């Protein structure tokens, strides 16, 4: 029996045996409620330095559903979590992530730039994040500029396989990127782990483009500026979910609730909390 049929059968039985349920059923909004996943962008970035344990721990404390992390690779092959392809903005060092050894990267201060109380925060590794957070909170894993790190898809797949996270796990691990070829590779390597494509380009929202994405992606994740109700419907009609970014105001969060997206990726998890419903 399909999920839809199961749901319809359950609702019909509740009408027969539960008069209160019948009253609720008369509410024209019943059945249209939608829960939106609260995704802490690079952690709770509004309150703690992005892509650090401090920001991820805070996202857990704030009861976000997911953290979003950016994965790159050190010169000597360690998968590290940092957004920019240089360390200049978010650490006390300089240089390209891929030109620095893991020891050099790990020695950087990734917290002081945000606030002295975060001094000494270091760049987390991908494996450290998996081990510390899997089971506590979902993880949106972004492969950042994977074209700079040949073979990174295999490495990410291996780290997940070693932990038995290559199976469907209530979709608590999702891998996404702006690099669509990389996501095709990821889908081939880990067919049971959902992948997503990120874009801020309206050329990627045409029916043809969406159809192509739906061949390998389970998520379509546009910047909020290009989200419309029609886009949400088109994405859903192809069986994909839609997550949108980056929310830094309550108005933007409310706009995305109204559009009916499935996930809101936000620097401020409290804008998506308490769980708000679309009616
Ligand atoms: O998850 C979406 C978002 O992270 C994409 O943009 O630049 O913050 O990685 P960016
Ligand atoms: Ca990201």
d(CA 107, CA 123): 8
C-alpha of residue 41 to centroid of ligand 2, in Å: 7
**Eight-class DSSP state of 164:** T
d(CA 48, CA 62): 12
Helix (H) or strand (E) run with residue 258 in it: helix 250-259
Averaged over 6-19, what is the pLDDT?
A: 38
Instruction: Tell me the per-residue pLDDT of 21-59, one tens digit each, with 9 for 90 and over.
Output: 333 333 333 345 478 999 999 999 999 999 999 999 999
pLDDT at 167: 86
**CB 142 less than 6 A from any atom of ligand 1:** yes
Cβ 177 vs Cβ 187: under 8 Å: no
- For residue 106, which phi and psi values (nearest 5 degrees)? -70, -25
Measured between alpha carbons, how far is residue 271 from residues 46, 77, 227 in Å? 11, 37, 18
C-alpha of residue 14 to centroid of ligand 1, in Å: 43
- Give percent above pLDDT 90 in the chain: 83
At 278, the pLDDT band (50, 70, 90 cuts) reads very low
Instruction: Tell me the per-residue pLDDT of 84-141, one tens digit each, with 9 for 90 and over.
Output: 999 999 999 999 999 999 999 999 999 999 999 999 999 999 999 999 999 999 999 9
pLDDT at 17: 40
Enter the tokens of residue 102.
Answer: 């893991």
Q: Find the length of the chain.
A: 279
Helix (H) or strand (E) run with residue 6 in it: helix 3-17
Closest listed residue to residue 236, CA positions, set 222, 220, 212: 220
Cβ 156 vs Cβ 176: under 8 Å: no
If you search the block for the tokens 């509410």, which residue do you land on? 27
Closest listed residue to residue 60, CA positions, set 73, 78, 47: 47
**CB 198 less than 6 A from any atom of ligand 1:** yes
Which of the pair, 162 or 31, is modelled with greater confidence? 162
C-alpha of residue 211 to centroid of ligand 1, in Å: 23
Query: Above 70 in pLDDT, residue 77?
Result: yes
Quick one: which atom of ligand 1 is closest to the CA of 70?
9
- Report the Cα 156 to chain-centroid distance in Å: 16
Quick one: which atom of ligand 1 is closest to the CA of 178?
5
d(CA 197, CA 175): 9
d(CA 74, CA 51): 16
Instruction: Tell me the per-residue pLDDT of 138-152, one tens digit each, with 9 for 90 and over.
Output: 999 999 999 999 999
User: Residue 163: helix, strand or coil by DSSP?
Assistant: coil
Residue 103 burial (CB count, 10 A) = 10
Query: At a CB cut-off of 8 Å and minimum separation 6, what does 182 contact?
Result: 143, 146, 147, 152, 153
pLDDT at 171: 74
Averaged over 193-197, what is the pLDDT?
A: 97
User: Residue 68: helix, strand or coil by DSSP?
Assistant: strand
Cβ 91 vs Cβ 108: under 8 Å: yes
């Amino acid at each position: 029996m399909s999920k839809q049929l199961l749901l319809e059968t359950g609702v019909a039985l509740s009408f027969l045996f539960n008069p209160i349920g019948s009253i609720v059923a008369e509410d024209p909004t019943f059945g249209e409620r939608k829960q939106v996943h609260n995704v802490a962008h690079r952690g709770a970035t509004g309150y703690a330095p992005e892509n650090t344990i401090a920001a991820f721990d805070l996202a857990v404390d704030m009861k976000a559903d997911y953290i979003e992390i950016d994965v790159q690779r050190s010169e000597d092959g360690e998968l590290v979590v940092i957004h920019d392809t240089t360390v200049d903005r978010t650490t006390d060092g300089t240089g390209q992530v891929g030109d620095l050894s893991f020891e050099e990267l790990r020695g950087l201060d990734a917290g002081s730039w945000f606030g002295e109380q975060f001094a000494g925060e270091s760049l987390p590794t991908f494996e450290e994040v998996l081990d510390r957070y899997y089971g506590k909170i979902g993880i949106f894993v972004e492969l950042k500029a994977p074209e700079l790190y040949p073979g990174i898809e295999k490495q990410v797949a291996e780290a997940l396989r070693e932990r038995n996270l290559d199976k469907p796990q209530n979709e608590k691990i999702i891998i996404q990127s702006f690099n669509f070829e990389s996501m095709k590779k990821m889908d081939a390597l880990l067919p049971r782990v959902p992948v997503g494509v990120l874009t801020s380009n309206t050329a990627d929202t045409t029916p043809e483009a969406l159809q192509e994405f739906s061949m390998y992606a389970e998520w379509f994740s546009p910047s909020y500026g290009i989200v419309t109700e029609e886009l949400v419907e088109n994405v859903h009609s192809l069986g994909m979910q839609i997550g949108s970014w980056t929310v830094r105001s309550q108005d933007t969060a409310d706009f995305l609730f109204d559009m009916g997206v499935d996930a809101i990726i936000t620097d401020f998890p409290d804008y998506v909390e308490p769980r708000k419903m679309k009616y």
